[in-house]
Amino acid sequence: MKHETFHYKSLQDVAERATELNAYLPLSEDVGALLSPFELAGRRIDNHIAFQAMEGTDGTEDGAPGEKTIRRYDRFSKAGPGVIWFEAVATVKEGRASAHQLWITPENVGEFKRLTDRMRENCLKENGYEPLIVMQATNSGRYSKPHGYPEPMILYNCPPLEDTPWPADRILSDDQIKRFEEAFGRAALLAQEAGFDGMDLKSCHRYLICESLSAFTRPGEYGGSYENRTRFIKNAYRAAQANVRGDSFFLTSRLNAYDGFPYPYGFGIGEGSMEPVLTEPIRLLKELKEEFHIPLINISMGNPYKNPHVNRPYDHGNYVPEEHPLEGLGRMMKGLMEIHEAIPDLPIIGSAFTYLRQFSVNQAAAMVENGACSLAGFGRMAFAYPEFIHDLKAQGRIDEKKVCITCGGCAVLLRAGIPAGCVIRDREVYQLPSAD
């Protein structure tokens, strides 16, 4: 299939193409729904826009925020999203995705605290309110590169992800998994001390917890049945809950509702089809809500390494996907709606809103209006054009000359383990490495 890139001149053009493709793509002319304040997790949230977790690979060797990290969160917080989902922060050194991924420790927690204070001050000064800030705690599992080269820790060999199976010593034992559950507990203590409002036990994009949810083929306590596959996430929550003080700091997750790999190698899929089957993700969400009182959930899909078109529909990438980008958006929007209908009292942050460029806010507004999302989460757009929220407030639309063009440059930088940002709109600071 020839890849059709973004060429829409009007909302009408987008709607017509979505209809032809049978993609579920609600769109609203009026973006007002994004800009009204509301209550969430006991706080007043100014608007329905979230900045998604966007890793910058720009921490110091010891895991503290570096100069570029601070610059990035200055830009994010001045822009004024209702929620800032602070990027992946490692819970253990061996689970860092790069030698410069943030990693919270008792030694550097003060530097994280200075950054959250600074983000609140920035937002208050620029916009008159504070954002809700959630720290994403991670163990990168099979994508760990703590010294800059792969040192994977996997739960099971997964043929769709491996040309050659990893040797047995790369497969974590049940005891090693238990140690990592405890590390999420220690991270919760530190995240609270660092001034975050809550902590995300990251369960998306095939990092370690996410991988456990599809460990159908793993023997023992952490594989096979639904109960075993959800043991890691629930024990990690229990460890975190045991360390949290008071009741204003909350726990939550960014959860993959669908991995995009065939059964038995993916979560949110059934046998014999590649269509999402959300029975287990919905069951898990109900259980997390019941036992851990999660006040919101951040939903994502896909794998940024193997099927990035599912995770972040794009115009330019390493391969040309079989599906049209609007079909990818449709899958995400349909999944969000299905989860909302199954658990209407669980506020959802949706993902993958950037693709539609200047019309992304129309899609976001429609998803907020129809109730499927409490917040629309923007990833790549936050790198390219964080101040789009100001333009939206001032003019009711955003500037097509400033939007993300889904070129994939930021992901290239991230994968190369060098500081990531927008190589188009912020090119004085970020450039692609030269070919030689």
Ligand X SMILES: Cc1cc2nc3c(=O)[nH]c(=O)nc-3n(C[C@H](O)[C@H](O)[C@H](O)COP(=O)(O)O)c2cc1C
Closer residue to ligand X in complex, CB, 52/374: 52
| 39: three-class secondary structure by DSSP | strand
When binding is defined by CB under 6 A, the residue of 405, 414, 422, 423 that contacts ligand X is 414
Question: Binding of ligand X at residue 73 (CB under 6 A)?
Answer: no
| Nearest approach, Cβ of residue 73 and ligand X (Å) | 13
Q: Which stretch binds ligand X (CB under 6 A): 107-115, 142-150, 353-361, 362-370?
A: 353-361
CA–CA distance, 171 with 165 (Å, rounded to integer): 10
Termini Cα distance of the chain: 32
Q: Can you tell me the distance from the alpha carbon of 390 to that of 336, in angstroms, rounded to the nearest whole number?
A: 26
Rule CB under 6 A: say whether 354 interacts with ligand X: yes
Distance separating alpha carbons of residues 164 and 51, to the nearest angstrom: 37
Considering the complex, what minimum distance in angstroms separates the CB of residue 339 from ligand X? 16
SS3 320: coil
**Binding of ligand X by 355 (CB under 6 A):** yes
Give me the amino acid identity at 85. Answer: W
380, 386, 392, 398: residue in contact with ligand X (rule CB under 6 A)? 380
Q: Whose CA is closest to 181, among 150, 212, 220?
A: 212
Cβ contact 66:109 at 8 Å: no
Q: Does 411 bind ligand X (CB under 6 A)?
A: yes
Of the candidates 46, 58, 87, 327, which one interacts with ligand X according to CB under 6 A? Answer: 87
Q: With binding defined as CB under 6 A, does residue 420 bind ligand X? A: yes
For residues 256 and 267, what is the distance between their CA atoms, to the nearest angstrom?
8
Stretch that binds ligand X, among 52-60, 64-72, 188-196, 233-241 (CB under 6 A): 52-60
Give, as ranges, the residues between 165 and 194 that touch ligand X (CB under 6 A).
none
Q: By the 8 A CB rule, do 51 and 76 touch? A: yes
* Separation CA 285–CA 126 (nearest Å): 36
Does 53 engage in binding with ligand X (CB under 6 A)?
yes
348 contacts ligand X (rule: CB under 6 A): no
Total residues in contact with ligand X, by rule CB under 6 A: 26
> Do 41 and 34 touch, CB atoms closer than 8 A?
no
* Least distance (Å) between residue 77 CB and ligand X: 17
51 contacts ligand X (rule: CB under 6 A): no
The window from 48-56, 58-66, 113-121, 228-236 that contacts ligand X (CB under 6 A) reads: 48-56
Instruction: Please identify which residue in the block is written with the tokens 């969160």.
Output: 73
312 binds ligand X (CB under 6 A): yes
Nearer to ligand X, 312 or 340 (CB): 312
- Sole binder of ligand X in the list 72, 96, 100, 254 (CB under 6 A): 254
Which listed residue (204, 296, 339, 407) binds ligand X by CB under 6 A?
A: 204
Single-letter code of the amino acid located at 120: R
H or E element in which residue 332 lies:
helix 325-342
Residue 368 contacts residue 26 (beta carbons within 8 Å) = no
Binds ligand X by CB under 6 A, chosen from 31, 41, 49, 54: 54
Question: Does residue 76 touch ligand X according to CB under 6 A?
Answer: no
Q: How far is the CB of 286 from ligand X (least distance, A)?
A: 22
Q: Map the footprint of ligand X across residues 91-130, applying CB under 6 A.
A: none
| Residue 369 to residue 26: CA distance in whole angstroms | 10
Residue type at 159 in one-letter notation: P
Residue 256 Cβ vs ligand X, minimum distance, rounded to whole Å: 9
Q: Which residue's Cβ has the minimum distance to ligand X? A: 379
Phi, psi of 429 (to 5 degrees): -100, -35
Per DSSP, what are the bridge partners of residue 103?
90
Rounded distance, CA 396 to CA 134, Å? 28
379 binds ligand X (CB under 6 A): yes
Q: Which residues bind ligand X (CB under 6 A)?
A: 52-55, 87-88, 136, 204-205, 254, 300, 311-312, 351-355, 378-381, 410-411, 414, 420
